[in-house]
Amino acid sequence: MFKSLMAVGACAFVMMGLAGCPGVACFGVDTCQLQGTWEASVTNGNTTTVTNRMVVTDDAFAYSTQTSGFEGTYKVNALTKPKQIDFMITKSWVGIGPLQVVDNTHKTTFGIYAVSKDTLTVQFGDTGNRPAAFDNDKAVALAHISAN
């Protein structure tokens, strides 16, 4: 009887974890909420300029600003306070057009994050360190633009 209840409970957990998040194994807390395109923008008069964009698809991400960016895979630990995110970067770049410099050195950047239905706040750590708390001058708040 106990084994049957455990099997039913495990199936329910898997079903709830995968519901509403096609193509993504949502066994980690927040994985589904991170999926999609997130942007920060600045409006000056009639002109709106996207300053930061993060696209998350399954376990991959691409983060860019107007003049730089990086991409790779990520993993989260939603059980800590603040929640932790590790970016395993496989490619980074700086510059625009013919002046762009690409670096394919693999590295890991440690950060913290907070996510809700409409907002993703991310703060990246300095070389090899994870921030202990959000700093308003360093954290980036991104609005959810579209789901994958």
pLDDT in tens, 99-144: 999 999 999 999 999 998 899 999 999 878 999 999 988 999 999 9
List the chain domain ranges: 27-146
**Contact between residue 145 and residue 54 where contact means Cβ atoms under 8 Å apart:** no
**In which band, very low, low, confident or very high, does the pLDDT at 21 lie, cut at 50, 70 and 90?**
low
Rounded Cα distance, 96 and 2, in Å: 61
- Tokens representing 120? 């993703």
Q: pTM for the full model?
A: 0.76
Is the per-residue pLDDT at 85 higher than 70?
A: yes
Grouping H, G, I as helix, E, B as strand and the rest as coil, residue 98 is helix
The alpha carbon torsion through 67, 125, 123, 24 (nearest 10 deg) reads 90
* Alpha carbons 60 and 65: distance in angstroms, whole number: 17
Q: Which residues pair with 141 in a beta bridge?
A: 121
Q: What is the pLDDT of residues 51-71, one digit of tens each?
A: 999 999 999 999 999 999 999
141 C-beta neighbours (distance < 10 Å), count:
15
Q: Residue 137 gets which letter from DSSP?
A: T
Is there a contact between 71 and 85 (Cβ–Cβ < 8 Å)?
Answer: no
- Note the pLDDT of residue 126: 83
25-47 pLDDT, tens digit each: 454 568 889 999 999 987 778 88
Q: Which CATH architecture fits 27-146? A: Beta Barrel (2.40)
Q: What is the mean pLDDT of the chain?
A: 83
